[in-house]
Structure formats: C-alpha cells, structure tokens
A and B are shown apart, each in its own frame.
Chain A
Amino acid sequence: MKKYLSAFVCGFGAGVLHVVPVAKTFSCCLIIPLAAFISLMLDRKANPTDELIPSKKALMFGLMTGLYAALFGSGFDILITLITKNNDVVAAFSELPRVLQLFSLPENIKNDVMKLFSGVRDDILQYGFSPLYAFSILINNLAINSVFGIIGGIIGAQVINSKQKNQS
C-alpha cells in the first residue's frame, strides 16, 4: 500500500473528478492517464533519484492508479445515486424513445429495450440502487480505467525519462 501511495492519492482524485461533470468536460479522456502520470511524478518527489523510471514500474503505477480510480469512481457514483435517487440513466430515460426512433427498430426490440431500462430506472427512483447499473459501472470502470491507467503510466514514464535525459 505504502509503495503505491501516490497511485492511491491520484486514483482517489481521478475517481472524484469522474463524478464531477464540469471537470469531465475539460479533461475528457485524459483524466486517468494524467492521474497515472502525476502519480509517477509524486513518487519521484517522494523518492528522489537520478535513475530512469523502469517501464515495469510505470506499468504497475498506471495499473494501480486506474484500479483505485475505478473503485473510488464506482463507489462515489453508487453512493451519490443512493443518496439522490437520480443519475445519468434516470436523466437520459426521457431521451430513450427519441434515440430508439433514430434506429427505426422493430416494435418488439423497442419494447424490450424500454423494459430493460425502465427496470433500471424504477429501481434507482425507488431504492436508489440498481444491481444491473452497479455491476455495469464497476466492470466498465475496472476494465477501462486499468487500461487507460497503464497507457498513462507508460507515456508518463517516457516523458519523465526524456526530461531526465535532457537535463543530464
């Protein structure tokens, strides 16, 4: 845990930013890679050295940042949904018939999709929790944040190493 303290801090930050809509608009797909990059920089500050960052270490820091971000992001999302009994799915539900109209789908498929979503929406409105929503959020976050964290870690190490080489 102590070894990946900076990943924990940055993962927490990225998890928080994931549920802040305005922040998401600005940073877009760069939140997690940037968090992994910053976690490497923080680790460098905490343990000063002139050595280049090994790729394996960068990969692990990226992965851990992504995993922490996924856990915190999912946790905050589920918690906020539980408290407010409202989220993106509920907000987007009124738009669903219009979206389905765009695809000119057969009636039975339209009904199936509406049924699936109204089930999730009703659960959220009534209990503030939908198992299907929570499961999909967690799996999506874990898979995508881990990959983007690794990408951010590897790129971050390359940038920091390039800077280090230039200085020396």
Chain B
Amino acid sequence: MNFSKRTLLFALILLWFTGIWFECFVHVNKKMIYFYPFAKQSYSLVCHQDQKKLIEVGGCRSLVCARCTGIYLSALILSFAFLFKQPKQNPPIKYFLFTGILMLVDVIFSSLKVYNYSKTIALLTGILFGSVLFIYFCNGLNFLFTKTTNRN
C-alpha cells in the first residue's frame, strides 16, 4: 500500500472514531442534535450501547461500549503508526487466539458476574484484540493492492 492509500485508511478510521464522540459535537453545535439519533442508530448496529458500559469523557458519552472503543482506538493508533512504517508480516496465529480468548473470557466472566464489569479491562482487552486484528487487516489490504497493482 502506498502512502496515499495508508493516509486514506487513517482518515477513514479517524472519521469513524470521531463519530463515536458525537455527543461532544452536539454540545459544541446544538443543531447537530438533528443527526444524533441517526449517528446513534448507525453505531447501534455494531455495538449494544449498554449505558453502563459507555465511556464518559468531559460529560460526553461515547456511542459504543468500552470494548468497542478499545478496538477502534487500537485501529486508529496503528493506522497512524503505519503511515510511517508498514507491517511486513502477520503476527503468529497464537496472538490472535490469545487476545481473542482473553476478550471472550472477560465477556463471559463479567456477564456471569464472576467479577464486576470493568471499563478499563474491557478497553484493554479491546485494544489488544483490535491491534492484532488490525495488523491482519492491513496485511490483507496490502496483499490486495499489491496484487491489483501488479496485474495492472
């Protein structure tokens, strides 16, 4: 993937991540309230939006839960880092399994009340799993664009 495609990817992820904090825009510009229900509905497709699991920053709540915020945050950070240096290969499959199982265990344990739901743990497990997923995704995109470019 060349620099312009990586920049586009970063911009799209930044746009998606910014949308999570739509409540802040309403506080800044009151007319944004007209779009708020649609933004909330869009993000409800990818998250349960349980009120107790949302992150609150400066009086604004996120439109997705802590775990999803973690996944998107890791994608945002890594997409920025990959502007300067691209990943050369996929991480070993055991990392994918380990971070996936870690997240699953947290979901199951907190749902079964083995321990209380913690936004910090949810955010961290989301970041870990999201990071591995994003590296796989970037390599997949890289592979796709390289093949397409070579064919042309």
Binding site for B on A (CB under 8 A): 18, 21, 24-26, 28-29, 32, 54-56, 58-59, 88, 100, 103, 105-106, 109, 112-113, 116-117, 136-137, 140-141, 143-145, 148, 151, 154-155, 157-159, 162-163, 166
User: Is B90 interfacial (CB-CB < 8 Å)?
Assistant: yes
Chain A contact surface mostly: helix
* Neighbour of B65 across the interface among A28, A144, A158, CB < 8 A: A28
**Are B48 and A155 within 8 A (Cβ)?**
no
- Tell me the residues in window 15-32 of chain B with beta carbons closer than 8 Å to chain A beta carbons: 23, 26-27, 30-31
Query: Is B107 interfacial (CB-CB < 8 Å)?
Result: yes
Indicate whether B37 reaches chain A with its CB closer than 8 angstroms. yes
- Alpha-carbon distance A32/B46, docked complex (angstroms): 9
The reply to whether A109 and B48 form a contact with Cβ atoms under 8 Å apart is: no
| Docked CA distance A144–B111 (Å) | 27
The residues in B between 123 and 140 inclusive whose CB is less than 8 angstroms from any CB of A are: 133, 136-137, 139-140
Q: Looking at chain B's contact residues, is the secondary structure mostly helix, strand, loop, or mixed?
A: helix
Most buried by B among A24, A100, A105, A141: A24
Contacts of A162 in B (CB 8 A): 90, 92-93, 136
Closest 7 CB pairs between A and B?
Answer: A55-B144, A154-B140, A29-B46, A158-B136, A158-B140, A25-B48, A155-B136
Cβ–Cβ contact B90 & A158, under 8 A: yes
Structural contact, A105 and B41, CB atoms closer than 8 A? no
Q: Decide: B45 and A145 in contact? CB cutoff 8 A.
A: yes
Given known contacts A28-B67, A29-B71, A166-B93, A158 and B137 CB-to-CB distance under 8 angstroms = yes
Instruction: List chain A residues, Cβ under 8 A from B67.
Output: 28
**A159 close to B50 (CB less than 8 A):** no
Nearest A residue (CB) for B44:
A88
The complex places the Cα of A161 from the Cα of B26 at a distance, in Å, of 44
Cα(A103)–Cα(B144), bound, Å: 44
Q: Are B46 and A159 in contact (CB under 8 A)?
A: no
B141 at the interface (CB under 8 A from A): yes
Known contacts A103-B26, A103-B27, A109-B31, A136 near B140 by CB under 8 Å? no
Q: Which residue of B lies closest to A133 (CB)?
A: B41
- Which of B45, B47, B96, B147 makes the CB contact (< 8 A) with A54? B147
CB distance from B24 to the nearest CB of A (A): 11
Inside 8 A of B93's CB, which chain A residues have their CB?
159, 162-163, 166
CA gap between A143 and B27 in the complex, in Å: 27
Q: Which of B34, B37, B46 contacts A144 (CB 8 A)?
A: B46
Instruction: Looking at the assembled complex, report how far the CB atom of A26 sits from the nearest CB atom of chain B, in whole angstroms.
Output: 6
A69 CB, min distance to chain B CBs, angstroms: 10
| Besides the known contacts A112-B34, A157-B140, A166-B93, 4 further A-B residue pairs in the complex with CB atoms under 8 A apart | A26-B107, A105-B33, A141-B45, A162-B92
Which of A24, A137, A157 interacts with B48 by CB under 8 Å?
A24
B76 within 8 A of A: no
Determine the chain B residues whose CB is within 8 A of the CB of A141 once the complex forms.
Answer: 45
* Cross-interface CB contact of B68 among A26, A28, A100, cutoff 8 Å: A28
